[in-house]
Structure 1
Amino acid sequence: MEGDCTEISAGGLQTSILVDDERVAHYGVQVEGNDDRGKATSWIASEVDKEFAINVSVKSLPKSNAYGVLVYIDGLLVSSSFFCADSDKRSRIITGVRISQTEKRKFMFGALEFLEDDSNAEAASAKTLGQIGIVLQTSTKPETRRPPDAPDSFVVPSHEKVYEGSSKGMAHQVKYSEPREDRLASPKKLFNLKDPFTVAKHVIKYRPLAMLQANGIVARPLPPAIERTPEAPSSTQSPALPRRSRKGKPAEGQVKTEAEAEAADPEERIRKRRRELMAELAKLEEEEDRLRASKRMGRTIKQEIKHEPRGTTASGEVIDLTI
């Protein structure tokens, strides 16, 4: 399905979401600011149990600065990436969270679970659900430090159920797959940004496709064309012959042109079908009026016929009807 684009860009940061190794469509894209500093928002369609990844790039930004990219999912910081100044590596694909030096858990969309009552509504609904946030920071003074002996591991949060009244029409949330083997190559050094400032923010809101269509964010697909079955000609009516050109051949050019016009313009096909249905409706209404008029006329004729009382004649009397 086509959308506004498959990548959003603002403040020198490019972001795309990958599902099955393909970029998904972004809808309702809005961009504020300029190339130096900006904010972008968009919508994507989510599907339960589908894994996804986040592709971030700073290829358009100057190499004189160092950059850090922070990724938030449902309000929780899940990743921080660092791009060194003068480095040729200017993009990164973030697939999930690391739970150990040898295992990761992939991002995936899941169904939102609801509480049966609102007893824990305040705590459960405090999260920022339904959105992926990417923040780009930069600094001209990056700092280096030695990595720890045991790198930090991400603690996967337990998914709290949400009170339905505070879900704001959402149906999905991000969950995490079962652990997958993914060995980490120990870095020789780590980096920090000293006195960083934010240059870009991207907010990607995910919802089920049907919900995006219901809210007018994604256009609904056009209904399929209804093919009419040609009526068989009656025994008293000769079949219609195709119109022939001056050389005696059917004028196929005109028929082909109309078919091509309908294929190129789906709305014209719908308008044509509507005209046909309106014509059929008019014929049915006309036939119904004739039937009603016929019934009314029958009742009128019966009322006009009056039955005269029978005359009585004497026994054996003969009535002469001759003139």
Structure 2
Amino acid sequence: MRFGDFSAHVVIEGEDVKEYEITVNSSGTQATCWIVSEVGKMFSVKWSCHSSKRPACQGVLTVDGIGCVRTCLLPMYNKDTAFCSVMHLGTKERDLMFCNLQLSDDEALLGKPVLSHLGKIKLGISQGTIRWEPSKAPESGSQLTSYRSIYHEKSVKKLSTHCVGFGPEREHSIPSRVWEFVPNQDPPFEFIFEYRPIGILQANGIAPRSAPAIPTTLSDSSSGMQKTQSGVLERIALLENEMKRLRGQAHDETEDRKPKRIKKEHTEKRPLVHGEVIDLT
């Protein structure tokens, strides 16, 4: 999304996530859109200032109403883009990722209110000045080991079944100086990304349904038909040769089974003489 001198995008695996139904409020200070969330995918929020003459800018990221991290763009460093990709906790940091919301059918949870910020990633950008201060000793320990609440499945039926989770803790270095941001009189800008599973966005007509796969070009289709036809003709030729072989084999076996004619020995006949004795032994 982009409006005014600022833009912001959710990034997954190095790619900007597709945004649906972008809206801007009447005062021009808040932009909202829908994005697809995928369980197990880590993400970050990239934001930029496109003004050639800009003051110092600070971006503050919150997820599901939980403050995560602040980043700053300073004119002196000639950088126009910053990334919010982690939750900072004192000397620890944790990656941002999409997770399944914990649901239950326990009737005791039916009256529990659902957080209004659930399913929302919000980046607030302010303009002002920076005042540098020495770093203070940060608080240690994690505040998010058990932050996720359990909701009744009916309570979030029309909302998201996903939430933002956090990866394993790891150490991060603390700079020797930190800034204190002093905003000016300009109203802050807000970018709100409402995330849902793809099925919910499609069911609500926000994201288009997947179209069935078709051949990309006519030539691809023709090539596939030619390959199929060639295979059929080859199979027909093989079957014809096999039939010829079987016919020949059947003919040979028929010839072998024909009865053999016995050749009779030729004997000369002579007339019988009266009184002659014939030996019959």
Normalising by structure 2, we get a TM-score of 0.67
- Structure 2 residue aligned with 1:273: none
SS at match of 1:198: coil
For structure 1, list consecutive stretches of 5 or more residues without a partner in the other structure: 1-7, 227-255, 263-323
Q: What amino acid does structure 1 have at the position aligned with 2:132? A: T
Q: Structure 1 residues 68, 81: CA separation in 2 closer, same or farther (over 3 Å shift)?
A: same
Normalising by structure 1, we get a TM-score of 0.59
Residue-by-residue CA offset, 1:138-195 (whole Å, 9 max, x unaligned): 22x443332213367762252011122321332100011122x453241423222155
Pairs within 5 Å for 1:264-275: none
Pairs within 5 Å for 1:232-243: none
Q: Structure 1 residues 224, 59: CA separation in 2 closer, same or farther (over 3 Å shift)?
A: closer
Q: Structure 1 residues 194, 151: CA separation in 2 closer, same or farther (over 3 Å shift)?
A: farther
The whole-number CA distance in structure 2 between the counterparts of 1:165 and 1:50 is 26
- Structure 2 residue aligned with 1:105: 94
SS at match of 1:189: strand
**For this pair of structures, how many residues does the alignment match?**
218
Q: Structure 1 residues 182, 17: CA separation in 2 closer, same or farther (over 3 Å shift)?
A: farther
Q: Residue 40 of structure 1: CA displacement?
A: 1.1
Residue 17 of structure 1: which of 6, 10, 24 is its match?
Answer: 10
Residue-by-residue CA offset, 1:248-274 (whole Å, 9 max, x unaligned): xxxxxxxx9xx58x9xxxxxxxxxxxx
SS at match of 1:210: helix
Q: Residue 127 of structure 1: CA displacement?
A: 4.8
Residue 43 of structure 1: which of 30, 34, 41 is its match?
Answer: 34
The answer to whether the 8 Å contact 1:121/1:163 transfers is yes
Residue 145 of structure 1: which of 109, 129, 133 is its match?
Answer: 133
The whole-number CA distance in structure 2 between the counterparts of 1:201 and 1:129 is 17
The whole-number CA distance in structure 2 between the counterparts of 1:198 and 1:121 is 39
Q: Structure 1 residues 148, 38: CA separation in 2 closer, same or farther (over 3 Å shift)?
A: same
Question: Pairwise CA RMSD of aligned residues?
Answer: 2.9
SS at match of 1:119: helix
Q: Residue 85 of structure 1: CA displacement?
A: 4.2
SS at match of 2:210: coil
Residue 190 of structure 2: which of 193, 197, 201 is its match?
Answer: 201
The whole-number CA distance in structure 1 between the counterparts of 2:6 and 2:107 is 40
Q: Structure 1 residues 194, 46: CA separation in 2 closer, same or farther (over 3 Å shift)?
A: closer
The answer to whether the 8 Å contact 1:11/1:200 transfers is no
SS at match of 2:2: strand
Q: Residue 196 of structure 1: CA displacement?
A: 5.3
Whether 2:127 is the aligned partner of 1:134: answer: no
The whole-number CA distance in structure 2 between the counterparts of 1:72 and 1:83 is 18
Residue 43 of structure 2: which of 37, 40, 52 is its match?
Answer: 52
Q: Structure 1 residues 189, 104: CA separation in 2 closer, same or farther (over 3 Å shift)?
A: closer
The whole-number CA distance in structure 2 between the counterparts of 1:192 and 1:153 is 25
For structure 2, list consecutive stretches of 5 or more residues without a partner in the other structure: 222-281
- Structure 1 residue aligned with 2:229: none
- Structure 2 residue aligned with 1:27: 20
Percent of aligned pairs sharing the same letter: 20
Q: Residue 117 of structure 1: CA displacement?
A: 2.6
Which structure has more RCO (C-alpha within 8 Å, separation ≥ 6)?
2
Q: Residue 123 of structure 1: CA displacement?
A: 5.0
Q: Structure 1 residues 192, 218: CA separation in 2 closer, same or farther (over 3 Å shift)?
A: same
The whole-number CA distance in structure 2 between the counterparts of 1:61 and 1:198 is 19
Q: Structure 1 residues 116, 160: CA separation in 2 closer, same or farther (over 3 Å shift)?
A: same
The whole-number CA distance in structure 2 between the counterparts of 1:210 and 1:86 is 45
SS at match of 1:165: coil
The answer to whether the 8 Å contact 1:66/1:84 transfers is yes
Whether 2:69 is the aligned partner of 1:76: answer: no
- Structure 1 residue aligned with 2:104: 115
- Structure 1 residue aligned with 2:237: none
